[in-house]
Structure 1
């Protein structure tokens, strides 16, 4: 599930990258920026240019499309120039 969340978040055009504030550990791989433990957490670095609350709402929708109706915490760790 972590990899699906990772792909959905990174596909958003306002997301520059995931941040290492969270991580999930899979066999042989660490998924940086995603935590799935009942609640889902994603930590992102956003590109400037869009209202942050709108992007956060869109990211929650994308994550819920993968995880179902779990609570989703989105941490905006940083902003970068588009």
Structure 2
């Protein structure tokens, strides 16, 4: 069984514009950390994006993906860095 933070992590990493998650947010689970995701009322995610797509479009898509996992909680997306595609 996975935790919501792990499900959010998987949804983010499955997006083609996400290169990796950033440690601006971290969830602590028994025996594991989920870097780049915080789920506590509001959801916070921190991502490093690949260049090539408009950032606002990607952020909107990421909010949608996270919302599909977490429900109606507000989602804060931090774009921590950009890398070449």
Do both proteins adopt the same fold according to a TM-score greater than 0.5, normalized to the shorter chain? yes
- 1:43 and 2:46 aligned: yes
Q: Shift of residue 38 of structure 1?
A: 0.2
Unaligned runs of 5+ in 2: none
- Give the RMSD, CA atoms, in angstroms: 0.2
Q: Segments of 4+ in structure 1 off by > 6 A? A: none
The aligned length equals 82
The TM-score normalised by the length of structure 1 is: 0.99
The C-alpha deviation readout for 1:53-76, integer Å capped at 9, x for no partner, is 000000000000000010000000
Per-residue deviation, residues 15-71 of structure 1 (Å, max 9, x unmatched): 000000000000000000000010000000000000000000000000000000100
Report the TM-score when normalising by structure 2: 0.96
For 1:20, the equivalent position in structure 2 comes to 23
Listed as ranges, the gaps of 5+ residues in structure 1 are none
